[in-house]
Amino acid sequence: MRNTFALAAVAALAGYAAAQTSTTCDPLNTTCPADAALGTEHTWWFNETLDATIWNMTDGALKYTDEGAEFTLKTNGSSLLLQSNFYIFFGVVESWVKMAKGAGIISSVVLESDDLDEIDWEWVGYNTSLVQTDFFGKGNTTGYDRGTNVPMSNADTEFHNYTTYWDHDRLEWWLDDVLVRTVNYSESLTLGGKNYPQTPCQIKIGIWPSGEESESEGTIEWGGGLVDWDDAPFTMTVQRVRVKDFHSGKEYKYGNHSGDWQSIEVIDGNSTTVTELNKKAKETLAEKWDDLGEGAHIGIYAACGVVGAACVGAFVWWCIRQRSKGRLAQALDDSKFADQRTEMLNYQNDWKQSEWRKSGYNKVG
């Protein structure tokens, strides 16, 4: 059983590589442009249109619903792939997914680097009581022993928490708060570290048909046979993805052609993703301010009028207070709050310049 699975998994990776992965510049042979870093932690809710400067739909189109983003296959020869424009250099990826059900349909959340280090969660559509874990180092797809099956239930009807914890010393797969697999840097499976995933990775979320005549026999078998397109559509839904980058920088650069994590240089600065997230947070806060209404504005002006020093924190304080009351919960939930705190202070300064002046409290401070 295990052998069948493993053999097929390898074949399937070849299928996957053909269908959904590629590298435009191989850092093991070439000097490539640096990879854009994430450099922070953020949760993206997939019920709202993703920022195209951060996430790139490189194949197909998503449908957004209240529940999340739907990745739907309707016809043969099609696939969908969403790819982060940022890379993480070790970190955590927590995705909440409902797999697509249907023989020959593969749903996947993959971390992949430019030199084809890879860390996978994969769901084979014929079995909704199973998720598979796998990893590859430097594009080496030979060997039959890296994939595992993790039994579970209702993978197609319920969102579950699939978390990858990836550091230089170990790699962990967590399913709904249970550690289901660990791979250490130094163990025989990784060839003593040589084939351990260790270079900056993008996140790739996709769906593709393994059950097509054009795929290899092993791939078709692994996915549970040919797709019956009369059963289409086949839909994977992603509710949210939380990503934490263990480094905070602007870019990651391969220092030499070794592909060793020690050779990766972290280039200082704000990542374009952080800049973009801050821009968004600022817009949201401006909208929230407008939404508060005259009474609230006056309340804040009054608070600021009393003690000059308190003004710097007044809007922040007000937001926190409202948040605990639930009024601003949407804009300032826990994950977003951390990202927005700094911007709130900046926003507060801008606001101090304009709004206070307008309201006649400009003499304060």
Ligand X SMILES: *[C@@H]1O[C@H](CO)[C@@H](O)[C@H](O)[C@H]1NC(C)=O
Residue type, 280: K
Residue closest to ligand X when measured from CB atoms? 77
329: which residues sit within 8 A by CB, 6+ positions away?
323
Contact call for residue 56 and ligand X (CB under 6 A): yes
User: Is 221 marked active-site?
Assistant: no
Stretch that binds ligand X, among 2-10, 189-197, 307-315, 350-358 (CB under 6 A): 189-197
Contact call for residue 359 and ligand X (CB under 6 A): no
Residue among 256, 324, 354, 362 that touches ligand X (CB under 6 A)? 256
Whether the CB-CB separation of 116 and 23 falls below 8 Å is answered with yes
Angstrom distances, CA of residue 234 to CA of 49, 108, 224: 21, 14, 15
Contact call for residue 94 and ligand X (CB under 6 A): yes
Residue of 256, 238, 272, 241 whose CA lies nearest to 87: 272
Stretch that binds ligand X, among 10-18, 138-146, 285-293, 312-320 (CB under 6 A): 138-146
Taken in order 141, 146, 110, 252, is the CA torsion positive or negative? negative
Question: Residue 245: how many CA atoms within 13 Å on its side-chain side?
Answer: 26
User: Is 122 marked active-site?
Assistant: yes
CB of 339 to ligand X, least distance (A): 12
100: which residues sit within 8 A by CB, 6+ positions away?
71, 73, 107, 123, 125, 156, 207, 234, 235, 236
Residues in binding contact with ligand X, number by CB under 6 A: 44
Contact call for residue 47 and ligand X (CB under 6 A): yes
* DSSP SS3 for 23: coil
Catalytic residue among 70, 112, 118, 212: 118
Residue number, 258 or 359, with CB nearest to ligand X? 258
CB of 322 to ligand X, least distance (A): 15
Stretch that binds ligand X, among 11-19, 174-182, 286-294, 318-326 (CB under 6 A): 174-182
- Rounded Cα distance, 310 and 288, in Å: 21
Contact call for residue 330 and ligand X (CB under 6 A): yes
Residues with catalytic roles: 118, 122
Q: Interface residues with ligand X (CB under 6 A)?
A: 26, 28-29, 45, 47-48, 56, 58, 66, 76-77, 85, 94, 127, 129-130, 140, 142-143, 149, 151, 161, 163, 174, 177, 182, 184, 187, 191, 194-195, 212, 214, 255-256, 258, 260, 262-263, 268-270, 278, 330
